[in-house]
Structure 1
Amino acid sequence: MKRALCLCAVLLDSRKIVPMASNLQNLVNNFKDWKFKSPPSYASLPIDSNPDYTTPTAVKNAVFSLVPTQPISGNIRLVCASEDALKDILDLNPDVAESQEFIDFITGKILPEGGLCVSHRYGGYQFGFWADQLGDGRAHVLGEYINSKGESWQLQLKGSGETPYSRFGDGRAVLRSSIREMVASEACYFLGVPTTRAAALVVSDEKSVWRDKNYSGMTKQERAAVVLRLAPCWYRIGSLEILTMRKEHELLKKLCDFIIKEHFPEIDYESEDKYVTWFKRVAHKNLDMVATWQGFGFTHGVLNTDNISLLGLTIDYGPYGFIDHYYQFYVPNTSDDGGRYAFNKQPTILIWNLEKMYKAMAPILTDAQKQQIEEFLPTLNDYVERKVLETYLRKLGLHQCQDGDEKFVHAFLELMQQKMADFTATFKQLGELNPQEFIDKNSTENKWSLNKLADSGETWKNWVQKYEQRLASEGVTEEERRARMSTVNPAYVPRNWMLQEAIADAENDDFKKVKFLLEVLRRPFEVNEEAEKQGFSSPPPTWSYGLKLSCSS
């Protein structure tokens, strides 16, 4: 181990890391033996080494800045860790998370051998307006790890101190937002949503971070926390935009070439149309991702271009929310007064962002390549609409797209909205009864959300009749329908009220609810007896309706 300040020497280390075996017996049991790949692939990109790393700086001609972490102070405690991320991604025995060496690592006190601590430079459009340089204002990429499966993962701390991109921020994250990110990252992964991961979370006992949670002018001190996040890489649309806006076109080309070569091996790197192919791949990956969001009622909250991954992953969990009673205009973010990033607008916003990606790439494209992309862009709306439709059909136990399905699904969602039926519970309960029972009040009596639809009289009966006809036209048996629906309709999602209760306890050093949430959400499609007792699939408490989050974290 070495201190986080001792960073530059790793560039000289060309030591090869031998992948570790994936079985449990060969997991790393002592964190002192765990090492990064050296050098990381991103070391080949320009890295700014301005020693005044805590002063906001207009960085030029660089993709990263060399920045050491600034460890949080006080008595540090491990809030929780993801057993799956530790084992399956980092080849670590989960017991390692309790060790002082691992906690010091998450705190930012030490950097394992082979690490190269940097913060990423990017820009972005925020709420539709160009915000210029943004970057990792409180995050540090520590290094790359090649696991026993041959996968490359970049480890990043969030809340680990100031950088040239802090914009006069303090470089810290607080416990409440860190818990939300930790839980959501892992929950989305197990739901099947493309996402970054979170491996562990630590918190200080000192209230040293000033925050105005509700932008009410009432600032207060909160406890600093740090999350260890994992992703193959952290490049965003904004990573390209800042280079175009600053007219750093040579570096723009270098970065695009690098990302294609390192992270899209299926693309022919020598092809004249590699940029077009890459753009199409990024577009479809992101639209596939947003289609999964729609299927779980997930609303990101801040879909700025700096929050759109070039790998099509869900990143930067800020004021997100999972819909309780269905409302297509649901907005979880108090800062989004105009509803720009409302649930129903997410697909079109992703397309808007992808158009900005094309504009960012334009300086390195030929006229022929531009024409190909411009002919491709108008296809994206139909593409994502079909992907979202397919998502809803699967939730209803159907696989084939047929004429009239758009109206069929829309009618169901419209009825859910009118009756304020719960998004997650309704789909789950549909898979627990026969369609003939949907209109029987005695059968739906114990299905609290589906029962709301059963109160809709003829409108509901007509929809159920069409549903039965639709199942018959596809030849779906009742056994097949239930089996299909059980795999795509979760019993549990991380609802705001669950997180709020876990956060309240964690503020008092009781982390049991956070850990329990992580455990339940590892198997979101399975009924958990204790989760049922705690009301995880019951109607949300009345105090939780209308609960929104701010960007203050």
Structure 2
Amino acid sequence: MKRAFSVFTTLLHDHTPLSASSMANLINDFKEWKLKDPPNYSELPIDANPEYNVPVAVKNAVFSKVPTEPLTGKLHLVCASKEALTDILDIDPKVAESETFIDFVAGKYLPKGGLSVSHRYGGYQFGFWADQLGDGRAHILGEYINSKGESWQPQLKGSGETPYSRFGDGRAVLRSSIREMIASEACHHLGIPTTQAGALVVSDEHKVWRDKTYSGRARQERAAVVLRLAPAWYRLGSFEILYKRNEPDVMRMLADFVIKHYFPDVDSKSDDRYVQWFSEVAHKNLDMVATWQGLGFTHGVLNTDNISVLGLTIDYGPYGFIDHYYEHYVPNSSDDMGRYAFNKQPDIILWNLEKFVEALQPILSESNKQKIKDIIATLRGYVQDKIL
């Protein structure tokens, strides 16, 4: 762990000077940094339950409008990714040390154009339907269009309770937050499709109780927040909850929205658009897992709510890298049956995709269903012959 963190800090504190032209295009006052107003996701149904931090079964919505619950006490910037700040957010790295930026990551400051929401989704966990899950401790703050024309959604993890918190307190601790930073940065630089981490802030005084070893001996740890970055945060479970709750109109709206904004190669006017879209989602995720297998990465919790429709590695929890080849490697201590072992990852991704198809049934024509069934058969052969 110490060696990994040493490598990690070396990446973050790269002192390679930026060119004068690059510096000229970077924002050096975070108060000037603005989000797209309104964000594209405002086109989708957003629940506006006034009791935003009370667990509730949300209906007919893709998001819930939820303000952040900022960290309290003395705040510190633990680290920030120079590449994420400059290449994604157009921010001078020095800005990360400013009070305004630290307040932003801590959930205290929402830039102009921001719309704080938490995403609703469900999922199959260890093979069983777990019903509504959602962003229980995360807030999407808005949408940023950078100087390259790319769209990115900043999300805070550990920023307070939401309607999806269930029995959680909406917080993250420094220990797990560092792991998130290490993993997302490492995977990005290894060429694995992934969400990225922009910065990490911790509080000296804000403490939460955690039972690290699940032994019944909880202790207090410092609360922290990670700034995560992705083009979008939609998961297979985003559609599964709509299927289970019998909300086909919302599902069709979400599917068409995702195709329009994130899958430019899909003909959005075609009767086969959902077939084309599924094929792309499947190939992106299988390409992703192929890179995992080649680099010895084991995700640890491949539930359907942890699978991105964009084919990005998402939600770094009990992940691990294999030091010496062992195909049955399981980094997750709660995975007693080894469901998500290293060698099972390709098959599990395919199983998850089959559940995704099941969820899409209400918006598929009979012709679409048969074509997707044929695609699944082809993909199964691909997994067996090319990945396993």
TM range (shorter): over 0.9
Residue 215 (structure 1) shift: 1.0
Tell me if the contact between 1:36 and 1:144 (Cα under 8 Å) persists in the aligned partners. yes
Tell me if the contact between 1:124 and 1:130 (Cα under 8 Å) persists in the aligned partners. yes
Q: Which amino acid aligns with 2:96?
A: A
* Structure 2 residue ranges without an equivalent (≥5): 1-19
Higher relative contact order (CA 8 A, sep 6+): 2
Partner of 1:189: 188
Tell me if the contact between 2:123 and 2:304 (Cα under 8 Å) persists in the aligned partners. yes
Sequence identity, in percent?
A: 72
Partner of 2:33: 34
Residue 112 (structure 1) shift: 0.3
SS in 2 for 1:79: strand
Tell me if the contact between 1:292 and 1:388 (Cα under 8 Å) persists in the aligned partners. no
Partner of 1:362: 361
Q: Which string of whole-angstrom CA distances, capped at 9 and with x for unpartnered residues, describes residues 400-454 of structure 1? A: xxxxxxxxxxxxxxxxxxxxxxxxxxxxxxxxxxxxxxxxxxxxxxxxxxxxxxx
Q: Does 1:111 align with 2:110?
A: yes
The structure richer in strand per residue is 2
Pairing 1:93-108 to 2, within 5 Å after superposition: 93-108=92-107
Q: Which amino acid aligns with 2:200?
A: L
Q: Which string of whole-angstrom CA distances, capped at 9 and with x for unpartnered residues, describes residues 503-525 of structure 1? A: xxxxxxxxxxxxxxxxxxxxxxx
Partner of 1:133: 132
Paired with 1:216 and 1:137, the residues of 2 have a C-alpha distance of: 23
Q: Which amino acid aligns with 1:136?
A: D
Residue 388 (structure 1) shift: 3.0
Aligned residues between the structures: 369
Residue 385 (structure 1) shift: 4.1
Paired with 1:324 and 1:337, the residues of 2 have a C-alpha distance of: 21
Pairing 1:235-254 to 2, within 5 Å after superposition: 235-254=234-253
Partner of 2:221: 222
The structure richer in helix per residue is 1
Root-mean-square deviation over aligned CA pairs: 1.1
SS in 1 for 2:179: helix
Partner of 1:526: none
Tell me if the contact between 2:176 and 2:317 (Cα under 8 Å) persists in the aligned partners. yes
* Runs of 4+ displaced beyond 4 Å: none
Residue 386 (structure 1) shift: 4.6
Pairing 1:298-447 to 2, within 5 Å after superposition: 298-388=297-387
Q: Which amino acid aligns with 2:58?
A: V
Q: Which amino acid aligns with 2:146?
A: N
SS in 1 for 2:337: coil
Tell me if the contact between 1:295 and 1:388 (Cα under 8 Å) persists in the aligned partners. no
Tell me if the contact between 1:106 and 1:201 (Cα under 8 Å) persists in the aligned partners. yes
Q: Which string of whole-angstrom CA distances, capped at 9 and with x for unpartnered residues, describes residues 458-482 of structure 1? A: xxxxxxxxxxxxxxxxxxxxxxxxx
Tell me if the contact between 1:207 and 1:221 (Cα under 8 Å) persists in the aligned partners. no
Q: Which amino acid aligns with 2:204?
A: D
Q: Which amino acid aligns with 1:175?
A: L
Paired with 1:68 and 1:207, the residues of 2 have a C-alpha distance of: 18
* Structure 1 residue ranges without an equivalent (≥5): 1-20, 390-553
Tell me if the contact between 1:133 and 1:165 (Cα under 8 Å) persists in the aligned partners. yes
Residue 22 (structure 1) shift: 7.7
Q: Which amino acid aligns with 1:182?
A: M
SS in 2 for 1:110: coil
Pairing 1:53-92 to 2, within 5 Å after superposition: 53-92=52-91
Partner of 1:398: none
Tell me if the contact between 2:137 and 2:161 (Cα under 8 Å) persists in the aligned partners. yes
Q: Which amino acid aligns with 2:296?
A: G
Paired with 2:385 and 2:205, the residues of 1 have a C-alpha distance of: 50
Q: Which string of whole-angstrom CA distances, capped at 9 and with x for unpartnered residues, describes residues 361-405 of structure 1? A: 01110001000011111111222345437xxxxxxxxxxxxxxxx
Q: TM-score, normalised by structure 2?
A: 0.94
Paired with 2:291 and 2:380, the residues of 1 have a C-alpha distance of: 16
Paired with 2:168 and 2:21, the residues of 1 have a C-alpha distance of: 41
SS in 2 for 1:23: helix
Residue 120 (structure 1) shift: 0.1
SS in 1 for 2:314: coil
Tell me if the contact between 2:72 and 2:206 (Cα under 8 Å) persists in the aligned partners. no
Q: TM-score, normalised by structure 1?
A: 0.66
Partner of 1:408: none
Residue 113 (structure 1) shift: 0.2
